């Protein structure tokens, strides 16, 4: 229980920020992950190829990369809380509109526009949480706990997918899965009433207003920060690419290769999602205890090993069910420390720009992994395509992590705010 005592040490402001970020990231996850459940249905209904289905996922991820970078830049200029509200509204509206589409090209357009809000939300909410936490030794735990809400959003997507397909005809059920995506827009009202910009950001803006040199987002490419930016982007590319290669195509694998029904598929995914929640908590604790880099390497090795076992070994469906928990733990646990880590790599004035660029360039490049899996699956088996592409991603994580500095315990306080 000592590992969770940190939560009792949070003040009211820190807890409200944690709650706001937790809810915002959960609804972000729902609106993004619901598409992965609907790929088999849309392929059957519209006659889409696997490459086209992967293209929609990739397009959404590319736009999320642009949206995340833009949101980071805007958050440095206009504030964390204001930009967070903009991102939530964007992904909620375009997820809902996806339910009204009638062709591949229409869905490609709405999912691409949804991606701008999806990418921006993560960039802003993790920076806001990292800056709000006063104690550096609790930063990764707080940001990791916030990110664990992804599992709740993912689980909600699985549950609504099961429920709508149980009570509605298939032609209407997939549309309802998108339509309900408008509900998360209500979370904006909680954020507006209960959360304020972190003191670190407020003080940095005051210094700028008093005549301090204005930081430009292109400073992340200066000689002092270029290596960090390149390696941080590579680290995120490997994490996200490996994750997307596995999770985007996993429902399709379970349904078309393992021949599980809609209801059985949801059951397997719930076990995987439960493991992913545990992964965030375990990963967050490990990052604060053993350091960011060591944690990333351990989770990358575990993700590759279990991903291969889950998709390639001739195991029974019962064994797959049991392996789902540790697989979810490692593929999600690797992300627990990344928000805190990227925040610690950059100074206050360009934190949003640096973190937004690294994570979302990684997301953009990682978005090529699902379409690569879909393309390779045309000439080889789906499981081999998933394994090869994911394995390359996790190797990149290990190399990048070993080349970056350790930042455990670093303070994020503006000079004039240290009083």
**CA distance linking residue 305 with residue 238, whole number of Å:** 15
pLDDT at residue 181 greater than cutoff 90: no
Predicted local confidence at residue 21, as pLDDT: 84
Residue 3 has pLDDT above 70, yes or no: no
pLDDT over threshold 60, residue 213? no
In this predicted model, which residue has the larger pLDDT, 265 or 252? 252
User: What's the pLDDT tens digit per position in 194-204?
Assistant: 888 887 777 77
**Tell me, what's the pLDDT at 295?**
94
On whether the 14-203+221-417 domain is CATH 3.40.367.20, my answer is no
- Let me know: does 285 contact 3? Beta carbons within 8 Å: yes
Res 211 pLDDT > 70:
no
The per-residue pLDDT for range 121-172, each reduced to its tens digit, is: 877 888 888 888 887 778 888 888 888 888 788 888 888 888 998 899 988 9
32: pLDDT strictly greater than 50: yes
Query: Where are the chain's structural domains?
Result: 14-203+221-417
Whether 82 shows a pLDDT value over 60: the answer reads: yes
* pLDDT over 70 at 259, yes or no: no
Helix 12-46 to helix 187-194 angle, to the nearest 10 degrees? 160
Nearest to 396 by CA among 342, 344, 334, 352: 334
Whether residue 362 contacts residue 234, with contact meaning beta carbons closer than 8 Å, is answered with yes
SS3 49: coil
How high is the pLDDT of residue 179?
92
Half-sphere exposure of 91 (CA within 13 A, CB side): 35
Task: Tell me if 69 sits within 8 A of 122, measured CB to CB.
Answer: no
Q: How confident is the model at residue 418 (pLDDT cuts 50, 70, 90)?
A: very low
Q: Is the pLDDT of residue 416 over 70?
A: no
Q: What is the residue-averaged pLDDT of the chain?
A: 83
Please tell me the distance from the alpha carbon of residue 38 to that of residue 15, in angstroms, as a whole number.
35
Lowest mean pLDDT, pick from 72-86, 240-254, 273-287: 240-254
Give the closest residue to 278 by CA, choosing from 318, 326, 341.
326
401, pLDDT greater than 90: yes
Residues 94-105: what's their mean pLDDT?
A: 91
Q: Whole-structure pTM over 0.75, yes or no?
A: no
Task: Give 410: exposed, middle or buried? Use CB within 10 Å, 0-12, 13-18, 19+.
Answer: middle
Give residue 414's pLDDT: 52
Give the confidence band of 293 by pLDDT, cuts at 50, 70, 90: very high
| Local confidence band at 260 (pLDDT 50, 70, 90 cut-offs) | low
More confident of the two residues 274 and 248: 274
256/239: higher pLDDT: 239
Return the pLDDT at 394.
Answer: 93
Give whole-number Cα distances, 92 to 104, 116, 346, 396, in Å: 20, 11, 30, 33
In tens, the pLDDT along 313-339 reads 776 777 777 777 888 889 888 988 888
Q: How far is CA 319 from CA 51, 73, 323, in A?
A: 30, 46, 6
CA distances from 360 to 70, 133, 273, 314, 373 (A): 10, 23, 23, 36, 20
Q: Round the CA-based radius of gyration of the chain to a whole number and report it.
A: 20
The yes-or-no verdict on residue 264 having pLDDT over 70 is no
Residue 186: the pLDDT is 82
Rounded Cα–Cα distance for residues 262 and 173 (Å): 12
Q: Looking at residue 398, what is its pLDDT? A: 94
Instruction: Look up residue 5 and give its two tokens.
Output: 């005592």
User: 10-14, 86-90, 232-236, 263-267 — which is least confidently predicted?
Assistant: 263-267
At 417 the pLDDT is 39
pLDDT above 60: residue 263: no
């Amino acid at each position: 229980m000592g590992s969770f005592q940190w939560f009792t040490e949070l003040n009211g402001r820190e807890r409200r920020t944690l709650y706001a970020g937790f809810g915002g990231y959960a609804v972000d996850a729902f609106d993004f992950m619901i598409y992965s459940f609907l790929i088999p249905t849309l392929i059957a209904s519209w006659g889409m190829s696997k490459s086209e289905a992967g293209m929609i996922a990739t397009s959404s991820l590319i736009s999320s990369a642009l949206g995340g970078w833009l949101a980071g830049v805007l958050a440095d200029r206009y504030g964390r809380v204001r930009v967070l509200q903009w991102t939530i509204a964007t992904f909620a509206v375009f997820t809902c509109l996806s339910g009204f589409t009638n062709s591949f090209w229409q869905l490609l357009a709405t999912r691409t526009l949804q991606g701008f809000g999806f990418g921006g939300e993560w960039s802003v909410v993790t920076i806001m949480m990292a800056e709000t936490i006063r104690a550096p030794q609790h930063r990764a735990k707080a940001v990791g706990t916030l990110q664990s809400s992804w599992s709740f959003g993912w689980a909600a997507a699985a549950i609504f997918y099961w429920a709508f397909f149980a009570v509605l005809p298939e032609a209407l059920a997939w549309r309802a899965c998108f339509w309900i995506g408008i509900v998360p827009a209500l979370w904006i009202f909680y954020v507006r009433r209960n959360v304020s910009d972190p003191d670190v950001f407020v003080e940095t803006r005051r210094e700028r207003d008093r005549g301090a040199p204005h930081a430009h987002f292109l400073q992340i490419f200066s000689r002092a920060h270029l290596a960090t930016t390149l390696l941080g982007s590579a680290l995120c590319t490997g994490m996200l690419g490996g994750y997307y290669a596995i999770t985007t195509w996993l429902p399709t694998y379970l349904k078309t290769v393992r021949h599980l029904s809609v209801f059985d598929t949801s059951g397997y995914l719930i076990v995987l999602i439960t493991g992913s929640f545990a992964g965030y908590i375990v990963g967050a604790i490990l990052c604060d205890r053993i350091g960011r880099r060591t944690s990333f390497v351990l989770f990358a090795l575990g993700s590759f090993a279990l991903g291969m076992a889950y998709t390639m070994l001739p195991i029974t469906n019962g064994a797959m069910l049991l392996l789902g928990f540790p697989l979810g733990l490692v593929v999600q646990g690797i992300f627990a420390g990344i928000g805190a880590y990227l925040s610690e790599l950059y100074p206050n004035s360009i934190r949003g720009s640096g973190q937004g660029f690294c994570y979302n360039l990684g997301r953009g490049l990682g978005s090529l992994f699902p379409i690569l899996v879909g393309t390779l699956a045309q000439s080889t088996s789906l499981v081999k395509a998933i394994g090869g592409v994911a394995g390359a991603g996790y190797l990149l994580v290990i190399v990048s992590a070993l080349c970056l500095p350790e930042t455990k315990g670093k303070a994020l306080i503006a000079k004039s705010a240290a009083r």
